[in-house]
Structure 1
Amino acid sequence: MEHAFGPYMKQLREQQGYSINQLAEAAGISNSQISRIENGVRGVPKPATIRKISDALSVPYTEMMKQAGYIEPGSATELQDVPEWATYKDRRDFKKMLEDDDDLMFDGIPLDEEDKKRIKDVLTGLFWEAKQMNKRKKTDESDNRP
């Protein structure tokens, strides 16, 4: 599936009055890379590059990821209730957990779609709670080092 990410990015850049050089500097990537993306020479950049561009343009990361084709609109992986503190790696881990295609079963019987959704909703809350606790734990450990 071909995505029109380059023209989308160019439109955002121009709407905000940035030159290619200004966006490149703000995002910490080369101006030639910006130009190649916008002109379709480079294609869709990696999520880490999209993160830098979205931060520089103050555009929601998920919106740019949808436009790039990494996230299907309306899918469970759209990452709707993602905490602000979540890193790209956290989001990737979460997406991987939700996309696991193994059948969910209870007592050897596959669950229907409604039950799967309810379980995934519960898992979503638990996942982000556990991630946040781990981040606090790491911060506390580093604070206690001599």
Structure 2
Amino acid sequence: MDKLGDYLKKARVRQGLSLKDVYKETGISDSRLSRIENGTKAFEVGPFCTKALAKLYKINLVDLLIKAGYLDTDALSSYEQVFQNVDLLSDDERNHIQKQIDLFIKGRTKI
């Protein structure tokens, strides 16, 4: 079993869900999920599946995207400080902060 498949199976079992339960909640067929968990279809875990499983299994989406190979921890390191506890902010607060960031970086270019 590969790391991603093992991680997903443990998360599913921890939630007390069968393969059929997952299908009912996400639309991901039990045969596809079984192949993913067994490592025979690991690279076909698309963004839709990743997001749906993270939500259903109550696991961190970013961690799952890293395990699936969609994100790189090095690429995320520059965002860690900026996004700590961002989920506690309202949409209005996030928009206000983004406007402040835009004001600070106005005229700067990324190299």
TM-score, structure 1 as length reference: 0.50
1:1-146 correspondence to structure 2 within 5 Å: 4-44=3-43, 45-76=45-76, 80=80, 81=83, 125-126=101-102
Bigger relative CO (Cα 8 Å, ≥ 6 apart): 2
- 5+ residue gaps in structure 1? 85-121, 127-146
Q: How many residues align?
A: 85
Instruction: Evaluate the alpha carbon distance shift between residue 78 and residue 54 of structure 1 in structure 2; reply closer, same or farther with a 3 A threshold.
Output: farther
Q: Distance in 1 between matches of 2:77 and 2:31?
A: 31
Choose 1 or 2 for highest CA Rg.
1
CA contact (8 A) 1:9 1:38 kept: yes
Q: Distance in 2 between matches of 1:64 and 1:14?
A: 16
* RMSD of aligned alpha carbons: 2.5
TM-score, structure 2 as length reference: 0.63
Q: Distance in 2 between matches of 1:59 and 1:25?
A: 19
- 5+ residue gaps in structure 2? 88-97, 103-111
Q: Distance in 1 between matches of 2:16 and 2:34?
A: 15
CA contact (8 A) 1:72 1:78 kept: no
Identity %: 25
Runs of 4+ aligned residues of structure 1 deviating over 4 Å after TM superposition are 77-80
**Partner AA of 2:62 in structure 1:** T
Which structure has more helix as a fraction of its residues?
Answer: 2
